[in-house]
Amino acid sequence: MFKSLWQNYEKKIRNNKNCTLINQQHIVNKYIHEQVVFINGPKVVVIGGGTGLSTMLRGLKKHTSNITAVVTVADDGGGSGSLRQDLGMIPPGDIRNCIVALANTEPIMQQLLQYRFIEGVLKGQCFGNLLLAAMNGISTSFEEAVKKVSDVLAVTGRVLPVTLEDVKLCAKLKNGITICGESKIGEQKKNYGSTIEKVYLMPEQVSPLSDVLDAILEADVVIIGPGSLYTSIMPNLLVKGVNQAIQNSEAFKIHVCNVMTQPGETEGYSAYDHVLAMQQHAHIKPFIDACIVNKQPIPQELLHRYNEDGAQPVHIDKTLFEKNNILLIENNILSVKDGYIRHNTDKLAQVIMGLVKKHNL
C-alpha cells in the first residue's frame, strides 16, 4: 500500500518539469508526514455488512490504516448462498465487498473481483467469491483464507468474519410467523403482510472470532452501520460476547443511520427506532454515543421511485436523541450512484473523523 502511495508522489515529481530540489524535498516531507498520521490514526472498528459498510470503508481508509471490519456471515442468498450450500463454506459476499473497498489495487483489479458471470454454470456468481472459495480450499480456515486474500490485495486494515460457525438468521414476525433464512426475511412483508418483532440466530450460542472481541475492546471508535438493520447489522450483535465487548469497550460508539427506510425491515422507523432496536437485540445498556444522519434533500424523481417501493426517508426525531443523551450529527452525506441512494463516501468519512478529532480519540 505504501509503495503505491509513494509511486504517486514519484509521478508528481517526474511530471513537474519545474520541480526544484526544494520542491522535491517538500513533496517527500509531505509524504512522510501523511504516512505518520495515517499509521498512527485512530483504531476504528466497523460492524455490519452489505453495501453500506463497504461504501463507508472506502472513505475511512484514506484517514487511518487501523481499521477492522467485522462482517456478518448470515447471508444465504445469491452467489454466496450457492457457495455456502455447495462447499459448506462461510458465505463470502459481504466479506468480499469489504476486502475490495479496503484494497489498494488498480481499478481493473477491483472491476475483476466484482465481475459477475452472466451465463453458463457460473451465472450469477462473482469472481471475488470464487477467489475466496479457492483460497479457502488451500487454507486451514476461512479466517486464514480472508487474511491471505487481503495480503494479496494490499488491504488497509483487516476484514474479519464475526464468527466461523455456520449460522442461520431467523425472524419472528409480529403476526407470530417465524421465517428462517436471511434472504427470505427482506421479502417477508409482501408474503406475510407483517413486520419484524425480533431476529435471532440458529444456533443461538455462536462463538465469535477472538480477534473480533479484541479489536472491539482495543478500539478508539466503534461504528455500527450503515446497512440493513435486521439482516446486516443485527447478526453481528447476536453473536455471543460481541454485545458485552461493545458494552465494555471504552471506544466512542457511533451509529451511521440509513438514509431510507427498508421495505420488509424498517417501514416507519425513525432514526431513534434504529438505535432502540439495536439496543434491545444486544440486551445491553444504552451504548450509542452519537448518531450520524443525512439532512441533504433527496431529488424528487428519485424519492418518488423509492416511495413506490415502500421506502421513505428516515425521520429524524431530535428530541428523543436529546432525551437519551445521544449526540445527533446532521450533515449532507447523500450520494446517488447508478440511480440508488447511497452515503457519500468521502463526506461520511470526514464527518466521522471530525468526531474523532473533537473527542480527542
Question: Is-contact 67 223, C-beta < 8 A?
Answer: no
Q: Would the pLDDT of 7 be above 50?
A: yes
| Mean of all residue pLDDT scores within the chain | 89
d(CA 65, CA 55): 16
Model pTM? 0.88
Q: What is the pLDDT of residue 33?
A: 46
Beta 327-331 vs 334-337: how paired, if at all? unpaired
Task: Find where cell 482495543 sits.
Answer: 218
**CA 69 to mean position of chain CA atoms:** 7
Mean pLDDT on 52-62: 95
pLDDT digits (tens, 9 = 90+) for 278-315: 999 999 889 999 999 999 999 999 999 999 999 999 99
Quick check: 12 pLDDT over 70?
A: no
Domain spanning 42-74+157-358 has what CATH number? 3.40.50.10680
Report pLDDT digits (tens) over 231-240. 999 999 999 9
| Cβ 197 vs Cβ 174: under 8 Å | yes
Question: What residues does 224 pair with on adjacent strands?
Answer: 47, 255
Q: Using one digit for the tens of pLDDT, what is the confidence trace for 324-356?
A: 999 999 999 999 988 899 999 999 999 999 999
Q: How confident is the model at residue 227 (pLDDT cuts 50, 70, 90)?
A: very high
Task: For residues 71-97, give the mean pLDDT.
Answer: 91
Ramachandran region, residue 17 (left: φ > 0; alpha: ψ -120 to 50; beta: rest): alpha
Say yes or no to pLDDT of 29 above 90: no
- Quote the pLDDT of residue 38: 63
